[in-house]
């Protein structure tokens, strides 16, 4: 009997395509981290494998890939190169909104290999990326935005941005082309996920065209980013566990003459890590199952899955540092990169603290809304 969360036979070819690409992504991951370069070749390869359009709805020319299959693909890509997974997930998330709720040409753009990015987070808004504070003023043809968006992964190669702004009747979402009114400010010299190059963008009286408005009726409906974020952390956690296991099997402790993996504390922590990872995957798979079956509670389940997966990734990556000792602390070891990469998931909205806040309030029946 297969798992209720197994990817269907019909969608296995998309997962296989990602699995075929993973070794080359993994081989370049250290270099993208060291040089802080965008993994453009990887993103192009994902597009050529048909995985961009696969994730789009059937009525817009996509394959209507299930979230279950997409989660598995993000896990595989995230384990090989988390920067690639992050930029690609943001690209797909922005494209999903514009292709589904925007004008039809966005599907053609995606099919042609054009790149998308999410410009939602504001310098003063932090985690509250769905509640923009920056107001766009009505002008002929739409609205004008004079403001900034922060941490826009993959912005330097984006052709289209998904941008939100406060309008008279609340938040509005628009597709905005990368033109001269959008100025990139290079802030991204980060600790981890260095290949995402998530820079700051200044929008200088940028026209948010009425015809490119994205009529998202419910920004909290299941979507690629909310459901995909736990998988970035799961990918990093798996890579960290593999790297520490390899080290523990090979490195001999000078005082005992036996491998590090023979130490009891390492075996105990390895067992805990394994089970935590299984639990994180199961929580994330459950959220995807709910979304694929249009069942209520998918978004709440995604928040629970993200909260746990982010913490598990940090936890296992820290175990890796302990197992690696001085060798794992060196730049030449993958252990230190996994540790740095593992921190990012917990910071990305909704952060671990905000997830705990939301969940804790629900459990306690608290009426205070600190996310506003
Ligand atoms: C690697 C990476 C890639 C990203 N890519 C993109 C992208 O492509 N597009 C995009 O739009 N954004 C992106 N972001 C932005 C991200 O999703 C968050 O919106 C942003 O990081 C939040 O801002 P901040 O980190 O300044 O945190 P702040 O929101 O300023 O939070 C500061 C601290 O306060 C805590 N906090 C905040 N609010 C609450 C609350 N209500 N209750 C309890 N604690 C709270 C936070 O947990 C954190 O510890 C990216 C971020 C990272 C790290």
Q: Tell me the pLDDT tens digit for each residue of 256-280.
A: 999 999 999 999 999 999 999 999 9
Q: What is the pLDDT of residue 216?
A: 87
Q: What is the pLDDT of residue 37?
A: 98
Q: Tell me the pLDDT tens digit for each residue of 36-73.
A: 999 999 999 999 999 999 999 999 999 999 999 999 99
- Looking at the chain, the whole-number percentage of residues with pLDDT higher than 90 is 93
Residue reference for tokens 């890590």: 273
Q: Characterize the bridge pairing of strands 136-139 and 116-119.
A: unpaired
Strand partners, 202: 148, 183
Q: What is the pLDDT of residue 348?
A: 98
Substitution candidate for ligand 1 out of 150, 187, 351, 370 with most atoms within 8 A of CB: 351
Q: What is the pLDDT of residue 369?
A: 60
Residue reference for tokens 């597009």: 47
Q: Assess whether the C-beta atom of 344 lies below 6 angstroms from ligand 1.
A: yes
Q: Assess whether the C-beta atom of 173 lies below 6 angstroms from ligand 1.
A: no
Q: How sure is the predictor about 314, in pLDDT bands with cuts at 50, 70 and 90?
A: very high
CA of 352, closest atom in ligand 1: 47
Delineate the domains of the chain, giving CATH numbers in brackets: 9-114 (1.10.540.10), 117-214 (2.40.110.10), 224-364 (1.20.140.10)
User: 3-state SS string over the chain?
Assistant: CCCCCCCCHHHHHHHHHHHHHHHHHHHHHHHHHHHCCCCHHHHHHHHHCCHHHHCCCHHHCCCCCCHHHHHHHHHHHHHHCHHHHHHHHHHHHHHHHHHHHCCCHHHHHHHCCCCEEEECCCCCCCCCCCCCCCEEEEECCEEEEEEEEEEECCHHHCCEEEEEEEECCEEEEEEEECCCCEEEECCCCCCCCHHHCCEEEEEEEEEEEHHHEECCCCCCCCCHHHHHHHHHHHHHHHHHHHHHHHHHHHCECCCCCCEHHHCHHHHHHHHHHHHHHHHHHHHHHHHHHHHHCCCCCHHHHHHHHHHHHHHHHHHHHHHHHHHHHHHHHCCCCHHHHHHHHHHHHHHCCCCHHHHHHHHHHHHHCCCCCCCC
Q: What is the pLDDT of residue 69?
A: 98
- Looking at the chain, the whole-number percentage of residues with pLDDT higher than 70 is 98
Distance CA 166, CA 171 (A): 4
Q: Tell me the pLDDT tens digit for each residue of 319-330.
A: 999 999 999 999
Q: Which two tokens stand for residue 134?
A: 């920056």
Per-chain mean pLDDT for the chain: 96
Residue 370 has pLDDT above 60, yes or no: no
CA of 125, closest atom in ligand 1: 29
Q: How sure is the predictor about 128, in pLDDT bands with cuts at 50, 70 and 90?
A: confident
Q: Assess whether the C-beta atom of 90 lies below 6 angstroms from ligand 1.
A: yes
Q: How sure is the predictor about 371, in pLDDT bands with cuts at 50, 70 and 90?
A: low
Q: What is the pLDDT of residue 280?
A: 98
Strand partners, 45: none
Residue 99 has pLDDT above 70, yes or no: yes
Residue 244 has pLDDT above 60, yes or no: yes
Q: What is the pLDDT of residue 88?
A: 99
Q: Tell me the pLDDT tens digit for each residue of 182-223.
A: 999 999 999 999 999 999 999 999 999 999 999 988 878 899
Q: What is the pLDDT of residue 331?
A: 94
Mean predicted confidence (pLDDT) in 100-129: 95
Q: What is the pLDDT of residue 367?
A: 74
Q: Assess whether the C-beta atom of 126 lies below 6 angstroms from ligand 1.
A: yes
Q: What is the pLDDT of residue 1?
A: 67
Q: How sure is the predictor about 129, in pLDDT bands with cuts at 50, 70 and 90?
A: confident
Q: What is the pLDDT of residue 11?
A: 98
Substitution candidate for ligand 1 out of 127, 132, 191, 307 with most atoms within 8 A of CB: 127
Q: Tell me the pLDDT tens digit for each residue of 132-166.
A: 999 999 999 999 999 999 999 999 999 999 999 99
Which residue owns the Cα nearest ligand 1 atom 28? 126
Residue 233 has pLDDT above 90, yes or no: yes
- Residue 346 Cα to ligand 1 midpoint, Å, equals 9
């Amino acid at each position: 009997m297969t798992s209720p969360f197994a990817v269907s036979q019909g969608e296995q070819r998309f997962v296989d395509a990602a699995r075929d690409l993973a070794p080359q992504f993994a081989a370049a991951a250290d270099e993208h981290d060291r040089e802080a370069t965008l993994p453009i070749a990887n993103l192009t390869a994902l597009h050529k494998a048909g995985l961009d359009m696969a994730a789009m709805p059937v009525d817009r020319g996509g394959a209507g890939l299930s979230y279950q299959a997409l989660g598995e693909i993000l896990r595989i890509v995230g384990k090989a190169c988390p920067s690639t997974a992050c930029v690609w997930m943001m690209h797909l998330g922005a494209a999903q909104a514009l292709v589904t709720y925007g004008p039809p040409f966005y599907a053609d753009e995606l099919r042609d290999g054009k790149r998308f990015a999410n410009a939602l987070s504001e310098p003063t808004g932090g985690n509250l990326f769905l509640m923009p504070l920056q107001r766009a003023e009505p002008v002929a043809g739409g609205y004008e935005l004079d403001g900034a968006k922060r941490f826009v992964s993959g912005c330097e190669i984006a052709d289209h941005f998904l941008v939100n702004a406060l309008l008279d009747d609340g938040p509005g979402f628009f597709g905005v082309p990368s033109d001269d009114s959008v100025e990139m400010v290079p802030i991204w010299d980060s600790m981890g996920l260095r290949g995402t190059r998530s820079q700051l963008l200044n929008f200088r009286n940028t026209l948010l065209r009425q015809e490119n408005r994205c009529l998202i009726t419910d920004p909290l409906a299941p979507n690629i980013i909310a459901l995909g974020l736990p998988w970035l952390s799961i990918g990093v956690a798996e890579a960290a566990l593999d790297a520490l296991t390899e080290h523990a099997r090979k490195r001999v402790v000078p005082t005992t003459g036996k491998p590090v993996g023979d130490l009891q504390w390492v075996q105990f922590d390895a067992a805990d890590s394994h089970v935590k990872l299984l639990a994180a995957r199961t929580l994330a798979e459950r959220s995807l199952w709910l979304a694929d079956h249009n069942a209520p509670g998918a978004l709440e389940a995604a928040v629970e899955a993200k909260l746990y997966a982010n913490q598990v990734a940090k936890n296992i990556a820290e175990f890796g540092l302990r197992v690696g000792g001085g060798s794992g602390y060196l730049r030449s070891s993958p252990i230190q990169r996994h540790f740095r990469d593992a921190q990012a998931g917990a910071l990305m909205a909704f952060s671990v603290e905000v997830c705990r806040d939301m969940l804790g309030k629900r459990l306690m029946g608290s009426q205070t809304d600190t996310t506003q």
